[in-house]
Structure 1
Amino acid sequence: MPTRNYLLLLLLLIAVPSSTGQDAPPAAITKPAFDSNNQDSYAAMISRGYTPLFNGKDLTGWRNPYPFGEAKVVDGEIHLLADKKFFLVTEKKYSDFRVSVEIHLPEGPANSGVMFRCHVDPDADKKVFGYQAECDGSDRRWSGGFFDEARRGWIWPSTPGRSEKQFLEHETQSKAAFATPIIANALNRNGWNRFEITCVKDLITIELNGIQTVRFRDTTDASGFIGIQHHGEEGQTYRFRNLFIKELPQVPAERHVSLTEQEPVSIKRINDTTTLIDFGKVAFGNIAMPVPSGRGTAAVHFGEKLKDGRIDQNPPGTVRYGMTPIRLGGQMGNWIVPTPVDARNIEQAGLIYANPPAVLTPAQWRSVMPFRWVEIEGVSSDYPFDLIRRRAAFSNTWNDDASSFECSDETLNRIWDLCKYSIKATTFAGVYVDGDRERIPYEADAYLNQISHYTTDSDVTMAARTFDWLMENGTWPTEWAPHMVFMAHAEWVYSGDNDWLKHRYESLKTKTLMHRSGDDGLIRSDESDQKRHDIVDWPQKERDSFVFTEINTVVNAFHIEAIEQMAEMARAIGKDSDAEAFEARAELAKQSFQKLLFDESAGIYRDGVGTDHSSIHANFFPLAFGLVPEDKIAGVTEWLSKKQMQCSPYAAQYFMEALFNHGRDEQALDLITADGDRSWKHMVDSGTTISWEAWDLKYKPNQDWNHAWGAAPANLLPRFVLGVQPATPGWTTATVRPCPCGLTFAHGKVPTPRGPIDIEWTNKTHFKITVTLPETISAKVDLPATKASTGVLIDGQPVAATKSGDRWILKDEVHGSVTIEVTQPASN
């Protein structure tokens, strides 16, 4: 994207709404605070995979190329003192990396920065020159700017007399960007500030306290030193701490994914020259095969789709096909046949603006792609085809036995098998990615993948790893940012790890959309947001004719849910003042949300202020997030109960949650298993073995056939039909609340970090369930009640329980293995 267009996009993204007469959000919850304990900050960076550039004790690894200037270590910080400008630089050069440095400016006139990919000329007057991320203590407020020290001057923003002509072309736009409040106020003038600079090929980004200030391409330097600056004010001490680097690219699969050799399920000779091999399911990988004898060349075709009994060599959308030529003879033994390389899947600094770097797979694997079938063309019929193996990539800790589900509906069982395998098959990159189109994590995709991974596998470190990746490589949609709060909250609830949360909490403040909120607590969407950034659903045709306005119901539902989760997490790690501020802000926003967005006459929510249109999205998102007042729930659920699957597989996660959580479990199951082409039944009936990105190609012609966000039943069935969810962080307490959904039986195993929970229930003459818990988990039990039911028995003995609507709620928690029955009146 040209620089000018990027600036316009940046300005539109960060425009701050006008005042509406209420109190503004407290500064403590609008941006990260890095003044906390230095040991905590240091531990946080280590936990996120960074390498220290400074050991906190001495200046090992650093040098001062000047004959003046003093650098010393004080209480784990580097202090620079001088009466002339100088730089302390690393002894090692770096090329592609993400570097993080915290700076505390002195009072009074002060200016500093972080040098990166810089150079040292010991014979020059200005010995250190090159790229710098600016730390500007003046009223100009250009902190986070991109400066070329002792060379070309200001790059972004640019200004006459201090910038070269090429950079003055974007003077107006760049200065306007730095005048917007979110950038102008990013620096904490009297405290610590975290600068994070990422260099990937020619792409340079600068972030200040979690706010991206620069995204620019420059080809001048590909490597160099890291440096820190004293500007030369006599008597001033510049302080630096937590200097870390992460060299790029990172390849998560090198440590976390293994290749599994798989035998063919079937082998079929198609004609005199071609043999079709079926591996049963799609997986990401390539093949190993004995070297064919003979002369000339042959071809290996890889495919996800068949057409007329052959691999479809011109499949629709981004359904995968590829061919690799091989030369016959000349070698002995086995060889690896890699799949063709899709340049987009390995791109680290592509020309598409929105995309962060692709997640690479290990070079030693050779290239991989998703395929089920292989055609070997040009090899004689006596070749040992049965010795061909697919080398399939899966998480090296995946446990097929960690989870199970079976019920009285065979279609639902097939859906479970499809969705569970979809989660397994998409672990190939070591972090959650968007299938095979771009191989990058997206926040919403990753969250849906995460919660399904928790319910299908017993080792889910990939979730936390993906969270850290996305915090450094975020994407563009509005609602995707709050999904980072959801990811952190889900990981904390799953693990109960307060230290993990504490190390990431402050950075999450940039993900709540607070910078777009008005004084009434609601988020504003400008024209660019309405046309591009506000997602509602994806693809666009799945939005149920949603009408975009400045105050958008779906965007605000996500914002409110995010700040409520932030309040809960703040409380958990002892940040009570933050928690109170988030709670107050959430309450303000909820009041405004109900007042401005609820249509009292219709009893449902509008899409936004300024329209009378009501989509299902404007109603099931608030319902799923608990934003609907108690006296309005019946009306909203009744309206939704008449709707079909008028949303994508992504939004269906929330639609189904809204139904399950509000007594509409049978409707949810009916939608999951519906006939037609907008259900998971349609997916399994199609023969796919990994869930799709969309319900069908006609709804998204470029859809992937290997997309984990289409696998929502992998978490919906354990959480709602079996009824198992965590009640407290770390699973010290679980909730068992099964929803029969018209089924006569269901049983399964739900993994937790404390061991599996086994559930088996029947729903025939009466409801009966056996719950088997790990020793360190107790469970709150909530069971379905018929109108005639009279009480509850545990192992044949009556227990205290309260009937609430159509549920029996047990007074006491249960432990170990128990059988619980809902009793019925004795028959005559």
Structure 2
Amino acid sequence: MLGPGESLCCMVTFRKKSTFCQESQTPLNTPDDSMTIRSLSLLLASVLAMGSSFGQVSSSSSSLQSSGAVDANTQFQGMISRGYKPLFNGEDLAGWRNPYSHGEAKVVDGEIHLLANDKFFLVTENKYADFRLSVEIHLPEGKANSGVMFRCHVDDDAKKKVYGYQAECDGSDRRWSGGLYDEGRRGWIWPSTKGRSEAQFLEHEEESKAAFENPTIANALNRNGWNRFVVTCVEDYITIEVNGVPTTSFRDAVDTNGYIGIQHHGEDGQTYRFRNLFIKELPDIPAERSVSLTEQAPVSVKKVNDEVILVDFGKVAYGNLKTRVPDTGRGEAIFHFGEKLKDGRIDRNPPGTVRYGETRIRKEVALKGNWVIPTPVDSRNTEQAGNKRAHPPAVLTPKTWRPVMPFRWVEIEGWEGEFKPEYIVRRAAFATDWNDQASSFECSDETLNKIWALCKYSIKATTFAGVYVDGDRERIPYEADAYLNQLSHYYTDDDVKMAATSFDWLIENGTWPTEWAPHMVFMAHAEWMYSGDIQWLKQRYELLKAKTLMHRSGEDGLVRSAEMDRKRHDIVDWPQKERDGYVFTEINTVVNAFHIEAIKQMAEMARAIGKNEEADAFESRVELAKASFQRTLFDETSGIYRDGVGTDHSSIHANFFPLAFGLVPDDKLAGVISWLKERDMQCSVYAAQYFMEGLFENGLDDKAIELMIADGDRSWKHMVESGTTISWEAWDLKYKPNQDWNHAWGAAPANLLPRFVLGAQSDAPGWTTAMIRPCPGGLAYARGTIPTPRGPVSIDWKNEATFEMSLTLPDGMVAKVDLPATGETTGVLVNGESVATTKAGDRWILTDEVSGSVMIKVK
């Protein structure tokens, strides 16, 4: 989707791809170079086919690669699992009709074949308004032209019976596939051309033709193969993609609903083929399937004065109110909703996007029973197409709920007579299957315990939309936000379906930052490691290729950033002032760290689903890129990484991201770790997830905990002491004046504390094997429960003269164990018996896996 201020027709140039190292010009060193080179060439071709996009405007990637890359059943089931309905059953033409007296439509091997000697359209029997439509088209050889009609109309009495919008499939040398044409009416809309377009569209003739001269768009169509067209209509906003390449983005309000149609252009003897026709009607409202309203009593109700009653629900939640209708009185009752108090009253002019709103209800004596008091509606977080600029749709909540917003306090004005606490409840929206008892954490530091409680509740409270959204300002899922939310959801709840739902939403509604695209790979990998669902992964694997940034990489394997990328798309950290002075260059250290981690995870997933040649190619690309990364971005003099090629500046981000992703060679670790150890929290709450990971994974757990509970306003301790009950979007309003106070990407300790302090992580898909690696960080004890798909993992350790741990694993799970080697220790006992170990630095690693309930002691 287009980001703020972006134009439609920004251009992209793909760099020449090669399997040779840029400097040495020698082939990649692999066991079978010829196979790897061939595999890499095919892989790059498929990435280019799917990953092209305007500049760094993320493609929705809603297209599947349709050249046989996935088997038909996997493809079909993948579309169904993502909420699509088939428009064609593969067996007959039920649901379709031919309004013409000529033309033949028949079903052949699961495809619709159209034959004719004059133009005609096969159309659906049903009309559709807002939707995402996916259709595959195979043009015949020779002169050919087809397309997908949408929101079109049928006049059975006219010669040109079918008219309206068409997504063009252009088999000519003109190459306008993916253009928007108004069949039988206004002609070409985008691109436009003299003699075939109306005057209003000719105003953008030069611009639109230039867009289709862009090689990325001009070459989007596979002239001799299958092509997937994706058309999305939301209100007046129309977008078209061809094989994952965005080709058209246009606003037009002439038609708001109509039929779907497919075209034969009329060439005698030619057969046009169509398959995999799916539609998803919009808006999709995930909360209808996975979220429920819970009635909550207030924790206090008090009279502020004779006119005002203040109700406190203890914590912020997304919801509205149910209250008793007053027995007496006329006029209005006014309900004020707020997240923040000021001088004992709800702050009616809060800073940033901290929430306040009011709802007025007219009292009527004749009414009996209860009112549902909806919160005021904020148009920004309900927009589906954007009034000023196009953006992904906001996630809507069910109409039956009535509007909701985040609030803790309610002030009531105009209530006459007595008001008792039992007169009012908050209807709070939480994931239906949320289990408060699924997870726990307690340690010897009370501040960390409070941080855990804040962050766990933040994850629960932000499940209100059914997918992970970025707080209440926009209610739009963003990839990085969603990934951090996903990690924490796994560690706080025991039935996590929302992660997969959020992935599916984002694969079709991608956002603009460069590094947000690789987060989609991270999300898929994390879901696979959590659930072990290989079918889910197979159904989505092809979609991930567009998210690796390989289409921006050069012969050395490193990603390049054009001027627009450096100015706009490469994000490094957010907000901008949290970048520690980062200097943006063509070869950006942070962007490339994300790229390498993404293709590394792609290799693992390719191997898991049996695509071994692609796995080999990804692995070779990782090694090439890692060598280039180290050679070009590491400063041997300072012993740390630069922000990019062409600058001597080294930010904290240029070092902790490589550290977190395991890119720092063993012989360089000490220097990078030593440098980072002296840094404070010079990054945002988003980037802190990765900063903390890098510290915990490299023996700096004491430093990580120190930063979490540090004094000042750049720590989670500050959030706790502020009195907030949901984590913030930024460390403080002064760092992001428009920040939300209900943003789950600020809740990273919800996953960091159980993952690293308790020390439990999945080490194999589906948690068949766990890695138990506690990082005490100077704490005297820690205990807790980690939910997994196989059941809870219970850990209780003490870090005194020796390190002792009680560990209980569910059935079907084994664990690798890695323990701190405290003091003058000589080995490890399991249930009182010595076991084989290896000492690596200051850690004891058990040779054999454990299962069931065990007592482990470092002796």
- TM-score bucket of the superposed structures, by smaller chain: over 0.9
Q: Shift of residue 19 of structure 1?
A: 7.3
Q: Is the 8 A contact 1:273 1:381 kept in 2?
A: no
| Paired AA for residue 359 in structure 2 | T
In structure 1, how many angstroms separate the alpha carbons of the residues matched to 2:525 and 2:390? Answer: 26
Tell me the equivalent position of 1:15.
Answer: 13
| Paired AA for residue 520 in structure 2 | M
Q: Work out which of the residue numbers 239, 246, 249 in structure 2 matches 1:205.
A: 239
| Paired AA for residue 202 in structure 1 | D
In structure 1, how many angstroms separate the alpha carbons of the residues matched to 2:112 and 2:448? Answer: 61
Q: Is the 8 A contact 1:29 1:578 kept in 2?
A: no
Q: Shift of residue 510 of structure 1?
A: 1.4
SS, match of residue 49 in structure 2: coil
In structure 2, how many angstroms separate the alpha carbons of the residues matched to 1:595 and 1:161? Answer: 57
Change (3 A) 1:86 1:769: same
Task: Give runs of aligned pairs for residues 270-309 of structure 1, distance below 5 A.
Answer: 270-292=304-326, 293-309=328-344
In structure 1, how many angstroms separate the alpha carbons of the residues matched to 2:493 and 2:186? Answer: 54
SS, match of residue 466 in structure 1: helix
Q: Shift of residue 523 of structure 1?
A: 1.5
In structure 2, how many angstroms separate the alpha carbons of the residues matched to 1:371 and 1:553? Answer: 41
In structure 1, how many angstroms separate the alpha carbons of the residues matched to 2:791 and 2:145? Answer: 54
Change (3 A) 1:169 1:524: farther
Q: Shift of residue 3 of structure 1?
A: 14
The Cα offsets for residues 319-344 of structure 1, whole Å up to 9 and x where unpaired, read as 00011112233211111111111011
The Cα offsets for residues 714-760 of structure 1, whole Å up to 9 and x where unpaired, read as 00001000100000011110100000110000000001111110000
Q: Is the 8 A contact 1:597 1:607 kept in 2?
A: yes
Q: Work out which of the residue numbers 618, 623, 628 in structure 2 matches 1:587.
A: 623
In structure 1, how many angstroms separate the alpha carbons of the residues matched to 2:809 and 2:154? Answer: 63
Task: Give runs of aligned pairs for residues 421-570 of structure 1, distance below 5 A.
Answer: 421-570=457-606
SS, match of residue 400 in structure 1: coil
Q: Is the 8 A contact 1:3 1:170 kept in 2?
A: no
Q: Is the 8 A contact 1:211 1:510 kept in 2?
A: no
In structure 2, how many angstroms separate the alpha carbons of the residues matched to 1:677 and 1:6? Answer: 34
Percent of residue pairs bearing the same amino acid type: 73
In structure 2, how many angstroms separate the alpha carbons of the residues matched to 1:760 and 1:186? Answer: 56
Q: Work out which of the residue numbers 147, 169, 172 in structure 2 matches 1:113.
A: 147
Correspondence 1:257 to 2:291: yes
SS, match of residue 559 in structure 1: helix
Correspondence 1:26 to 2:44: yes
Correspondence 1:42 to 2:76: yes
SS, match of residue 427 in structure 2: strand
Structure 2 spans left out of the alignment, 5+ residues: 26-36, 51-64
SS, match of residue 633 in structure 1: helix
Shift >6 Å, 4+ stretches: 1-5, 22-25
In structure 2, how many angstroms separate the alpha carbons of the residues matched to 1:141 and 1:515? Answer: 21
In structure 2, how many angstroms separate the alpha carbons of the residues matched to 1:691 and 1:681? Answer: 11
Q: Is the 8 A contact 1:156 1:214 kept in 2?
A: yes
Q: Is the 8 A contact 1:650 1:709 kept in 2?
A: yes
SS, match of residue 790 in structure 1: coil
Tell me the equivalent position of 2:258.
Answer: 224
Tell me the equivalent position of 2:763.
Answer: 727
Q: Shift of residue 110 of structure 1?
A: 2.0
SS, match of residue 392 in structure 1: strand
| Paired AA for residue 341 in structure 1 | V
SS, match of residue 850 in structure 2: coil
In structure 2, how many angstroms separate the alpha carbons of the residues matched to 1:221 and 1:418? Answer: 48
The Cα offsets for residues 220-260 of structure 1, whole Å up to 9 and x where unpaired, read as 11111101111222222211111111111111111211110
Q: Shift of residue 354 of structure 1?
A: 4.9
Task: Give runs of aligned pairs for residues 108-147 of structure 1, distance below 5 A.
Answer: 108-147=142-181
Task: Give runs of aligned pairs for residues 233-382 of structure 1, distance below 5 A.
Answer: 233-292=267-326, 293-330=328-365, 331-382=367-418
In structure 1, how many angstroms separate the alpha carbons of the residues matched to 2:441 and 2:331? Answer: 51
**What TM-score does the superposition give when structure 2 sets the normalisation length?**
0.93
Task: Give runs of aligned pairs for residues 598-677 of structure 1, distance below 5 A.
Answer: 598-677=634-713
Tell me the equivalent position of 2:29.
Answer: none
Q: Work out which of the residue numbers 818, 822, 828 in structure 2 matches 1:786.
A: 822
Range with bigger deviation, 644-653 or 150-159 = 150-159
Q: Is the 8 A contact 1:772 1:818 kept in 2?
A: yes
Tell me the equivalent position of 2:128.
Answer: 94
In structure 2, how many angstroms separate the alpha carbons of the residues matched to 1:549 and 1:799? Answer: 52
The Cα offsets for residues 540-584 of structure 1, whole Å up to 9 and x where unpaired, read as 100001111111111111111111111111111111222122222
Q: Shift of residue 372 of structure 1?
A: 0.4
Tell me the equivalent position of 1:53.
Answer: 87
| Paired AA for residue 321 in structure 1 | Y
SS, match of residue 436 in structure 1: coil
Correspondence 1:718 to 2:754: yes
Q: Shift of residue 380 of structure 1?
A: 3.0
Pairs aligned (count): 821
Q: Shift of residue 2 of structure 1?
A: 12
Q: Shift of residue 174 of structure 1?
A: 2.0
SS, match of residue 264 in structure 1: coil
In structure 1, how many angstroms separate the alpha carbons of the residues matched to 2:509 and 2:190? Answer: 21
Tell me the equivalent position of 1:173.
Answer: 207
| Paired AA for residue 566 in structure 1 | M
Range with bigger deviation, 138-147 or 741-750 = 138-147
In structure 2, how many angstroms separate the alpha carbons of the residues matched to 1:161 and 1:3? Answer: 34
Correspondence 1:407 to 2:443: yes
Q: Is the 8 A contact 1:426 1:435 kept in 2?
A: yes
Q: Shift of residue 4 of structure 1?
A: 14
Tell me the equivalent position of 1:826.
Answer: none
Q: Shift of residue 355 of structure 1?
A: 2.0
SS, match of residue 674 in structure 1: coil
In structure 1, how many angstroms separate the alpha carbons of the residues matched to 2:363 and 2:254? Answer: 46
Change (3 A) 1:182 1:586: farther
Q: Work out which of the residue numbers 389, 392, 400 in structure 1 matches 2:425.
A: 389
